[in-house]
């Protein structure tokens, strides 16, 4: 049976600028064919087993040929799959959506178009520039500055009224300015360049047609150029005031962790980039609980899996009354408490080394450790040194989410919540810029970062999401 294709706009910049219709459609798809310019956080809407295929479409980087993309859509649809063709901005605004639909029609493949917020409107708007204004500009024109042969006579646009919006024109900005002035546009005409619109890294430079190329030199792509009277306006949104207003942060880890920390940071006014590159997968089964005097948890994930295990096996929680329950910190303890399991042991400092000492001081019996595959050896080493018997059961593993592209973190800060997260980030090809400070939850996480970069490191205390947010605020003072 033939499948179905959504030709879908991802919107401009951040993931939350996609439409609700587009977000819901992503959850139905078996395959997502996406451009490099989209916010990778959009891919987290896809189901766990969805195939994610990046086809590039970023200036100066390798991209799949349009013919190959067309063939990819047809191949997957004819195999009976539901496909999302996820494109930056809007699929019909220089997005080649029409070419892809023509190919689908040739093969009788059903499709639907989901509009997206185009950067031609959104990038200027987010920088406080309206593309129209009743008393100044009653029309606007969207122009591509990029052509196959590289030749373009920009003077031909000099006689157009209203606001001129150029896409894909950052490298051609000197030629655009010179061409418009050659065509008769006044050198004093307001102009603006908005780089990385809709993201935490958005930057806007204002000037005139005569000096905008010089002022915008060195700005990163993608960028939108606005020329006309409205480019002099600054109707920028009033930012939420807080201790982190104007601060940009990349948050890495599992989706649950990034959402939790992002919420804390955004409440203080930070601009947050979510990079949920990790997922949790089950590994070993939890053994029978007979013979143990203590169960130790080093994370909320392990605690959740234990609670699920008790429900699946119909274990009466009252049978745990004869055991000590140990949790590494408040977050883990809270997960257990929500299920009616109140921990007996929580160390004053939320580290596995302190957890081991607290366990050894509280129980002489055998300990069942339920934790991640890459758990710190400090826990078992300290227990062994104190002659405490234990079974170290790796009930889950933290792995990279398949299909999530590598990230270049160019924010003021980046946060890592675990050593495994650091490893997957850097060994997956992701990098951080020279200006970016690294915030680590735990000393071991900080030690892992040192293996990959000489970035300035801040270690959060306490070792929680709240501690990471507090560490960033403390560094800004």
- Residue 381: which CATH number? 3.40.50.10090
Query: Mean per-residue pLDDT for 255-278?
Result: 91
pLDDT at 464 (0 to 100): 81
Do 98 and 189 belong to one domain? no
Q: List phi, psi (to 5°) of 456.
A: -60, 130
Q: What is the DSSP string of 231-257?
A: GG---PPPPPPSTTTT-EEEEEEEHHH
Q: Is residue 426 part of a domain?
A: yes
* Average pLDDT taken over every residue of the chain: 90
Q: Is residue 321 part of a domain?
A: yes
Q: Is residue 243 part of a domain?
A: no
Residue 294 has pLDDT above 90, yes or no: yes
Q: Is residue 128 part of a domain?
A: yes
| Least confident among 318-322, 448-452, 470-474 | 318-322
The domain of 431 spans 248-280+400-476
Query: Mean per-residue pLDDT for 406-430?
Result: 92
412 is known as an active-site residue = no
CA distances from 144 to 119, 252, 402 (A): 12, 35, 34
Do 275 and 288 belong to one domain? no
Say if residues 103 and 73 touch (Cβ distance below 8 Å): yes
Do 339 and 418 belong to one domain? no
Count of structural domains within the chain:
4
Say if residues 471 and 461 touch (Cβ distance below 8 Å): yes
Confidence class for position 240, pLDDT limits 50, 70, 90? low
- Which pair of tokens denotes residue 409? 């973190």
Do 129 and 206 belong to one domain? yes
pLDDT at 344 (0 to 100): 92
Q: Is residue 238 part of a domain?
A: no
271 is known as an active-site residue = no
Confidence class for position 151, pLDDT limits 50, 70, 90? low
Residue 62 has pLDDT above 60, yes or no: no
Could you tell me where the DSSP H helices lie in 111-172? 119-126
Last residue of a domain, one of 399, 417, 433: 399
The active-site residue, picked from 168, 324, 412, 437, is: 168
Last residue of a domain, one of 367, 399, 431: 399
Residue 148 has pLDDT above 90, yes or no: no
Do 460 and 445 belong to one domain? yes
The active-site residue, picked from 8, 30, 39, 57, is: 57
Last residue of a domain, one of 116, 144, 168: 116
Do 138 and 198 belong to one domain? yes
Confidence class for position 246, pLDDT limits 50, 70, 90? confident
Do 67 and 125 belong to one domain? no
CATH number for the domain that contains residue 213: 3.30.950.10
The active-site residue, picked from 8, 30, 35, 87, is: 35
Q: Is residue 241 part of a domain?
A: no
Say if residues 142 and 248 touch (Cβ distance below 8 Å): no
Do 293 and 318 belong to one domain? yes
Do 394 and 290 belong to one domain? yes
Residue 6 has pLDDT above 80, yes or no: yes
Confidence class for position 147, pLDDT limits 50, 70, 90? low
pLDDT at 363 (0 to 100): 74
Q: Is residue 171 part of a domain?
A: yes
Rg of the chain, C-alpha, whole Å:
27
168 is known as an active-site residue = yes
Say if residues 422 and 400 touch (Cβ distance below 8 Å): no
The burial class, CB within 10 Å (0-12 / 13-18 / 19+), for 360 is: middle
Do 410 and 393 belong to one domain? no
Confidence class for position 49, pLDDT limits 50, 70, 90? confident
Do 452 and 428 belong to one domain? yes
Confidence class for position 337, pLDDT limits 50, 70, 90? very high
pTM: 0.76
Q: Cα–Cα distance between 436 and 285 in angstroms, integer?
A: 40
Do 158 and 217 belong to one domain? yes
Q: Is residue 9 part of a domain?
A: yes
């Amino acid at each position: 049976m033939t499948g179905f294709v959504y030709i879908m706009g991802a919107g401009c910049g951040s993931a939350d600028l996609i439409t609700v219709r587009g977000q819901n459609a992503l959850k139905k798809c078996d395959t997502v064919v996406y451009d490099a310019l989209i916010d990778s956080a959009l891919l987290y809407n896809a189901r766990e087993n969805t195939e994610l295929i990046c086809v590039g479409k970023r200036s100066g980087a390798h991209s799949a040929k349009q013919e190959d993309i067309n063939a990819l859509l047809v191949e997957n649809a004819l195999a009976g799959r539901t496909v999302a063709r996820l494109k930056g901005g809007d699929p019909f605004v220089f997005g080649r959506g029409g070419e892809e639909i023509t190919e689908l029609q040739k093969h009788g493949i059903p499709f639907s178009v989901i509009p997206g917020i185009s950067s031609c409107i959104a990038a200027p708007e987010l920088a406080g520039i309206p593309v129209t204004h009743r008393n100044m500009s009653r029309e606007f024109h969207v122009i591509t500055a990029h052509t196959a042969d590289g030749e373009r006579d920009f003077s031909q646009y000099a006689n157009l009224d209203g606001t001129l919006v150029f896409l894909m024109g950052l490298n051609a900005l000197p030629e655009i300015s010179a061409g418009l002035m050659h065509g008769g546009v006044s050198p004093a005409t307001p102009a603006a360049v908005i780089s990385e619109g809709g993201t935490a890294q958005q930057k806007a430079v204002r000037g005139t047609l005569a000096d905008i190329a010089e002022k915008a030199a060195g700005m990163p792509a993608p960028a939108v150029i606005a020329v006309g009277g409205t480019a002099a306006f600054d109707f920028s949104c009033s930012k939420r005031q807080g201790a982190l207003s104007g601060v940009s942060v990349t948050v890495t880890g599992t989706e649950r962790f990034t959402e939790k920390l992002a919420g804390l940071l955004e409440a203080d006014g930070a601009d947050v980039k979510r990079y949920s590159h990790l997922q949790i997968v089950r590994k070993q089964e939890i053994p029978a609980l007979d013979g143990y005097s203590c169960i130790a948890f080093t994370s909320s994930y392990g605690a959740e899996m234990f609670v699920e295990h008790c429900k699946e096996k119909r274990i009466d929680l009252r049978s745990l009354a004869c055991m000590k329950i140990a949790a590494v910190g408040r977050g883990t303890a809270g997960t257990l408490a929500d299920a009616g399991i109140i921990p007996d042991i929580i160390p004053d400092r939320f580290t596995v080394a302190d957890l081991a000492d607290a366990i050894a001081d509280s129980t002489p019996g055998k300990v069942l450790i339920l934790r991640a595959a890459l758990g710190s050896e400090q826990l078992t080493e300290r227990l062994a040194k104190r002659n405490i018997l234990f079974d170290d059961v790796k009930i889950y593993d933290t792995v990279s989410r398949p299909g999530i592209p590598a990230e270049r973190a160019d924010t003021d800060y980046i946060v890592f919540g675990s050593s495994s997260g650091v490893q997957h980030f850097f060994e997956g090809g992701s990098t951080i810029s020279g200006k970016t400070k690294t915030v680590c939850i735990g000393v071991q996480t900080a030690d892992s970062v040192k293996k990959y970069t000489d970035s300035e490191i801040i270690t959060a205390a306490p070792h929680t999401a709240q501690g990471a947010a507090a560490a960033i605020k403390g560094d800004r003072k």
